[in-house]
Structure 1
């Protein structure tokens, strides 16, 4: 998609990228980011260790089961992202391992909700080191992306990062199995249904596939998102769109179901949601009250 450019995070201050980013976020709400310094070996290690967990029998995973927004295993059938658009669809065809910001929060009530301890499966002790390393790099990268976005908006570099001194974040390792696991998709069923993300900025490491990511624009409708193995895919969410007064649009997207001609295709995505400090006023909206309402909206049952 020509509306999704590639930007080098190392050189944006001198290469004119802010203008390119501004144009892209007015249309698709997506970017590809290179120069991020996240080693392929680290991304592969996170996937390899998560795969060990996902391949455990259900009875071993069940003690870690949580609802949407929790820290642990999000079982198949737990969420339907299209609900956030008011569309009734079957549940999304995925399972996830979810992690989030840890405490302490500055306010005990906020800390209990947004900075609780993460859950690390005892059956896969080798998962924690690569995930911890990956999360540290994601935090630093997300700060750099927000600095770029501040300038692209015509503001100072710290326009957004002054509100990320003690931010929340979420991290989902999403497994998208083939039909031998999930069965044939029902009408209107996707690996992830059509939606926009809810928060500030999302940084995605994904694998190419026939049943992969699609992005919607008014001009082109649904199109396969461009893929570059050296790049990370970045999109903005509803809060960022609101923060810009509607100048930028949150990126509407979906993940296709397992393809008919490759029913055994299995993909795994690493999805990092970077937010702002709890209680940040975004044009009259309490950021984290809004996020909680959105998370609750996509819960099945």
Structure 2
């Protein structure tokens, strides 16, 4: 697929919901966006843009370290640490054969123990913090606190939009799991020319309830898929977060809402040095939650294993 073809669909039409002034009049737009695309934007979230900029600045220093230094923190998909080039092929999760994704990630997850040894040993392990960038830990921990609060606000909104009680979803997030990736998308001077069908992140849906994405604009950026528009560029608003629902949420609604299918385009030939970074918070639910007969964390583990290239 050529880059010109991949961008032929234009920009997707997604609503922006102002959480600071959310009213019942916005609920039909929320429902329609999640039925058609599985995506929307949220403003009025109260998350400090300076914090996001600081995380990017510090993380960029880590990603520009020599390979042998970063290797000290290397983990497999689902671990806490550095995911190096080629560690993931997200298209595998939906059965799409793609070359490995053109990205690196620093990956973190929930670590506050529940007291259940078996659950804690799989889902609530300590995070690994690179010693070379000690400033990263307090920045990320502050950000994660804000993401938990924001995700619950979004879930409360979705409960009402679905026609249920406000806590329809958040009653299951008392002690949730989550994942947080700082995704680095280097330019072609590092990746080389993409192989046919290779992306920064291949086409896939996320696995959990909601994903809260803080992204940067770029030619090799995020695209979303709808039946009506096919692949289209996601709209960008620096003041808003991009939110999409994942497989667990789609199942929770009995398929009324669709898990948002998306991809990140390869580094563009006409901007070969383009370097982007995304902060991606994957929210899930409390272990043991069963959704339409599916045990949530058994499903999450299977999907994480599916995208690993090793």
TM-score bracket relative to the smaller structure: over 0.9
Per the TM alignment, residue 10 of structure 1 is displaced from its structure 2 partner at its CA by 1.4
Following TM superposition, the consecutive aligned residue runs of length 4 or more in structure 1 with deviations greater than 2 angstroms are none
- State how far apart, in whole Å, the 1-side matches of 2:163 and 2:259 are: 18
User: Given the alignment of the two structures, is residue 5 of structure 1 paired with residue 20 of structure 2, yes or no?
Assistant: no
Stretch deviating more after TM superposition (287-296 or 52-61): 52-61
Per the TM alignment, residue 52 of structure 1 is displaced from its structure 2 partner at its CA by 1.1
Helix, strand or coil for the counterpart of 1:103? coil
Kept after mapping to 2: 8 A contact 1:191/1:255: yes
Once the two structures are superposed, the pairs formed by residues 160-239 of structure 1 within 5 Å of their partners are 160-239=169-248
- State how far apart, in whole Å, the 1-side matches of 2:164 and 2:34 are: 15
Helix, strand or coil for the counterpart of 2:169? helix
Structure 1 alignment gaps of length 5 or more: none
Aligned to 1:80: 89
Stretch deviating more after TM superposition (104-113 or 251-260): 104-113
- Superposition TM-score, scaled by structure 2 size: 0.95
- State how far apart, in whole Å, the 2-side matches of 1:83 and 1:2 are: 25
Helix, strand or coil for the counterpart of 1:214? strand
Kept after mapping to 1: 8 A contact 2:13/2:235: no
User: Given the alignment of the two structures, is residue 41 of structure 1 paired with residue 50 of structure 2, yes or no?
Assistant: yes
- State how far apart, in whole Å, the 1-side matches of 2:301 and 2:29 are: 32
**Candidates 32, 41, 44, aligned match of 1:32:** 41
Stretch deviating more after TM superposition (99-108 or 56-65): 99-108
- State how far apart, in whole Å, the 2-side matches of 1:57 and 1:260 are: 25
- State how far apart, in whole Å, the 1-side matches of 2:144 and 2:112 are: 15
**Candidates 110, 126, 132, aligned match of 1:123:** 132
Kept after mapping to 2: 8 A contact 1:3/1:27: no
- State how far apart, in whole Å, the 2-side matches of 1:247 and 1:15 are: 19
Per the TM alignment, residue 106 of structure 1 is displaced from its structure 2 partner at its CA by 3.4
- Superposition TM-score, scaled by structure 1 size: 0.98
- State how far apart, in whole Å, the 2-side matches of 1:162 and 1:18 are: 20
Structure 2 alignment gaps of length 5 or more: 1-10
- State how far apart, in whole Å, the 2-side matches of 1:81 and 1:196 are: 9
Aligned length: 300
- State how far apart, in whole Å, the 1-side matches of 2:69 and 2:269 are: 31
Kept after mapping to 1: 8 A contact 2:12/2:232: no
Helix, strand or coil for the counterpart of 1:125? coil
- State how far apart, in whole Å, the 2-side matches of 1:275 and 1:134 are: 17
- State how far apart, in whole Å, the 1-side matches of 2:196 and 2:77 are: 23
Helix, strand or coil for the counterpart of 2:172? coil
Aligned to 1:144: 153
Aligned to 1:279: 288
Per the TM alignment, residue 103 of structure 1 is displaced from its structure 2 partner at its CA by 2.6
User: Given the alignment of the two structures, is residue 18 of structure 1 paired with residue 18 of structure 2, yes or no?
Assistant: no
- State how far apart, in whole Å, the 1-side matches of 2:154 and 2:119 are: 26
Q: Deviations over 1:69-88 (max 9, x none)?
A: 11000011001000011111
Aligned to 1:240: 249
- State how far apart, in whole Å, the 1-side matches of 2:100 and 2:88 are: 6
- State how far apart, in whole Å, the 1-side matches of 2:25 and 2:48 are: 26
Aligned to 1:254: 263
- State how far apart, in whole Å, the 1-side matches of 2:24 and 2:296 are: 33
Per the TM alignment, residue 3 of structure 1 is displaced from its structure 2 partner at its CA by 4.0
